[in-house]
Amino acid sequence: MPDSPSPLHINWRILRDTLTSFPLEPSSTPTIFDHTPADLVPPLTLAHTCGLTSGIYTTPTLPTMIPYEVAQDCQWKYFQQGLQFGLQQKLKSVSQNDKPSSATPKSRPPDPFDGTRDKYSTFTLQLSLLFQNDPIRYHSEGVKIRTAASFLTGGALSWFKAYHDEETQEIRFQTYADFVKALKAAYDDPDRRATAEHKLLTLRQNNKDCSTYHAEFSTYANILEYDDRTRISFFRAGANNELQAALAHQLNPPEDFNEYVAMCIQLDNNIRNLCNVRTRPYYNPRGAPPGPVGTSSGTAPGPMDLSKATGPARSTGRRENNLCLYCRLAGHWAANCPFKKEAHLHSAVVSEPPVPASAPVASPLYANPENSASL
């Protein structure tokens, strides 16, 4: 007496009969009937995915076949369903362009995610952009989940292992949304608003240009959803001293945040250009190097010799050395020089003009004719 078929074999036979009565139409997802047992769904989904990718990318991808003839018949029918849909999509793109379809723009792969909380939002954003840029390649939920998992490293990869069966190679997430929800619960910031507000309060421009400062500011301000007036207040508080000084001269600053930031960027650029002009080295248009600094005794470098300087050079040297312009001594100025006052008193007594050596010496008594007449 022959052995009776196993329940699994019976399930595959029932499915084959159903597929014979209701042929599968081309579709982007496998058609799973209501009475299909759950253990038959993974191999059927894999067969459909292999057929779909083979139709789109021309390189055939064959599914792993189950060692039952009746099961293989079912797998090939689902492979055919995905293959027909992939070929239809490829022919549609060719007919629309009236030429072979151009390659999809290559997207930058996401950065590996190791479980750092600050990197979670960036990682999920990069995945979303990757999937949206090439919807045909990332058409199914399983492809999205496996692609996202391939970028996990460190602690995040260890977390994913708990949702992956090593024996059956099955992933416990049914949809990509379920995967993101679990990843968010594990690694997203539980209080993003408090974290963003703290970072916004401590954010400072310092030596960064205003455009870079604004980009970092927007990362936290967008989470808080502040109004324009509050954003302007936070933005101005974090600006450096030079920019705040320039803002103090603006009589009617814009009340719109975007216009305010545009004004700040322009002011910051003007400040930086002015600093570059001030620090520009000396330029001699004639090309001749500047000559050595002159002194009263020549052109050699060194302190000025005040004992030999005359005219304006003497006055300049006395001023630079804080000396009196009258007596050349330190400790006072020419306006209150004691020697100047003493000389002024002596000048009140009229001195006799010098007498030549060859002239006879006359007595003062007879110098005046009136005195000689009186004698």
Q: What is the DSSP track for 42-78?
A: HHHHHHHHHHHHHHHHSS--PPPPPS-HHHHHHHHHH
> Is 153 within a domain?
yes
If asked whether residues 71 and 89 sit together in one domain, one would say yes
If asked whether residues 239 and 271 sit together in one domain, one would say yes
How far is the first Cα of the chain from the last one, in angstroms, to the nearest whole number?
189
Q: CA torsion sign, 220 to 221 to 226 to 232?
A: positive
Q: Measured between alpha carbons, how far is 306 from 323 in angstroms, rounded to an integer?
A: 11
Q: Measured between alpha carbons, how far is 312 from 167 in angstroms, rounded to an integer?
A: 100
If asked whether residues 62 and 85 sit together in one domain, one would say yes
Range of the domain at 137: 117-187
Nearest Cα to 111, choosing from 83, 152, 80? 152
> Is 336 within a domain?
no
Q: How far is CA 239 from CA 193, 255, 261, in A?
A: 22, 17, 11
If asked whether residues 92 and 11 sit together in one domain, one would say yes
What's CA 369's distance to the chain center, in Å? 104
> Is 262 within a domain?
yes
Of 219, 245, 278, the domain-final residue: 278
If asked whether residues 213 and 272 sit together in one domain, one would say yes
Residues 22-55 as b or e (16 or more Cβ within 10 Å = b) = eebebebebbeeeebeeebeebbbbbbbbbbbbb
β-strand partners of 152: 113
> Is 331 within a domain?
no
More confident residue, 236 or 336: 236
Contact assessment for residue 114 and residue 183, using Cβ atoms and an 8 Å cutoff: no
Of 187, 213, 231, the domain-final residue: 187
pLDDT-based confidence at residue 28 (cuts at 50, 70, 90): confident
If asked whether residues 196 and 183 sit together in one domain, one would say no
Overall average pLDDT of the 334-345 stretch: 67
Say which range, 36-50, 80-94, 101-115, has the weakest mean pLDDT. 101-115
> Is 364 within a domain?
no
368: left (phi over 0), alpha (psi -120 to 50) or beta: beta
If asked whether residues 82 and 129 sit together in one domain, one would say no
What's CA 337's distance to the chain center, in Å? 65
> Is 174 within a domain?
yes
If asked whether residues 178 and 229 sit together in one domain, one would say no
Which helix (H) or strand (E) element contains residue 369?
helix 369-374
Look up the pTM and report it.
0.40
If asked whether residues 13 and 93 sit together in one domain, one would say yes
Number of domains in the chain: 3
> Is 299 within a domain?
no
pLDDT of 295 strictly over 60: no
Match 């002596």 to its residue by tokens.
346
Max mean pLDDT among 41-45, 63-67, 147-151, 337-341 falls in 147-151
pLDDT of residue 316: 65
Of 278, 309, 338, the domain-final residue: 278
Percent of the chain residues topping a pLDDT of 70: 73
Task: Render pLDDT for 195-214 as a digit per residue (tens, 0 to 9).
Answer: 888 989 999 999 999 999 99
If asked whether residues 202 and 178 sit together in one domain, one would say no
pLDDT of 59 strictly over 90: no
If asked whether residues 196 and 269 sit together in one domain, one would say yes
If asked whether residues 37 and 85 sit together in one domain, one would say yes
pLDDT of residue 96: 59
> Is 295 within a domain?
no
